[in-house]
Structure formats: structure tokens, C-alpha cells
Amino acid sequence: MKQPRAWQRMLSGRRLDLLDPTPVDIEIEDIAHGLAFVARWNGQTAGDHAYSVAEHSLLVTEIFCRMQPKAPIKWQLAALLHDAPEYVIGDMISPVKAAVGSDYEALDERLTAAIHFRFGLPAKIPVTVKKQIKKADTVSAWMEATQIAGFTVTEANKIFGKVDQTLIDGLSITLRPAPLVRADFTAKHTQLLGQI
């Protein structure tokens, strides 16, 4: 019996094996393009453009830097790439991830390790840094929930916890066309990589 195909051809021409990804098959342009077209919240956001994982990743990086102003550049890069595997596996909302279970987690971990190696990060980042990025991710989710996903502040506080408003002072979510977000994501990656 023929094995099902477990690889995807990328726009760069790379062939990424999802079950055994290698750093050599990973390009930032593919990641930026994929993430710019993957909608968060299953597309259930107000506005004329989807709120993409790339836009979310830029916001998480900004919040992480506000929370950890002395964070090394490599951890800022890790924040930018925290959802990078979603460029090929998509963004599943938390309830779906829980239902799928350990298979999704294992796939995500393999892709993350390959992405990290490709850009000079350790396969697994330190637990303390991972928690800091997760905290920034949660703050971002709170902002998204209240600004574009129709949640009340009370609902968002129950689900994501209350947010220190000084962390998000001056930040707002603007839904933009995917090509603009893709360009900003790529530029941020280039900037951070150039400082390492």
C-alpha cells in the first residue's frame, strides 16, 4: 500500500517533510508567506482582512520586548518565531489542539526544532524564556479577543487573565492585507537576525 504524502512543496521550491523536517528545507520567505495567510481565531474577527498569525507574531514580539526589555536578541527572535510551525500546519484554536492531543504537539515540536536550528536558536528554548513568551502570547490573545474577536473585557479576563494595561499602552490591532504583514514579518526577522 502506498504511503500517504507527508511533505509539502513550498513557494521557494523547497520540499518540507512534515514528519522529518530538516533546517535546510526552511526559508523565512516561506514562513512569512504562510503565516501572513493563516487566520487566527478561525477567521472570526471583525474587519475586511483576516488577522493573521504573522501579525500576531509581530504583536507578541513587541509585548515580549516590553515585558523583557533586556532580553537577548535571540529570545526576541524566538518570540517572533513562536508560532512559525503554523505556516504549514495552520493555526488550530486551543480546544481543537486539546482534542487532537499528543500527535499535534509532537509535529509542532519537530517543526519548531528544525526552524530554530535553521535560524541559530536551540531546538528547545529555556523554560523561563518559553514562559515569558507564553505570557506575551496570552496578553496578545487578550488584546485580540477584546479588540477584534468580539469578547467583552470580563470574558477575556476570565479566559486569559487580567492584563497589565501598561504593557499594551499605545498598542492597537489594525487588520492589514497579507502582503504588507508578510513584508513586515520578513523585515523584523532580518533585523533581529542581523543583530545576533
Encoded amino acid at 71, one letter: A
Whether residue 17 is contained in a domain is answered as: no
Whether residue 15 is contained in a domain is answered as: no
**What rounded mean pLDDT belongs to the chain?**
94
Whether residue 1 is contained in a domain is answered as: no
pTM of the model: 0.93
Which domain, by its residues, includes 34?
28-194
Whether residue 117 is contained in a domain is answered as: yes
Encoded amino acid at 104, one letter: Y
Whether residue 14 is contained in a domain is answered as: no
Is 125:116 a contact under the CB 8 Å cutoff?
yes
According to the model, what pLDDT value does residue 28 have? 98
pLDDT in tens, 98-110: 777 777 888 899 9
Rg (CA), the chain: 17
11-19 LR contacts (CB < 8 Å, sep 24+) = 16/88, 18/88, 18/89, 18/107, 18/111, 19/107, 19/110
Nearest-angstrom CA–CA distance, 196 and 174: 29
Q: Categorize the per-residue pLDDT at 59 as very low, low, confident or very high, splitting at 50, 70 and 90.
A: very high
Whether residue 23 is contained in a domain is answered as: no
Is 91:54 a contact under the CB 8 Å cutoff?
no
Q: Is the pLDDT of residue 191 over 80?
A: yes
Nearest-angstrom CA–CA distance, 159 and 60: 18
DSSP 177: -
Is 29:54 a contact under the CB 8 Å cutoff?
no
Place of cell 518565531: 81
Total number of domains constituting the chain: 1
Whether residue 3 is contained in a domain is answered as: no
According to the model, what pLDDT value does residue 2 have? 75
Torsion of CA 134, 84, 67, 139, to 10 degrees: -50
Whether residue 18 is contained in a domain is answered as: no
For residue 93, give the CATH number of its domain. Answer: 1.10.3210.10
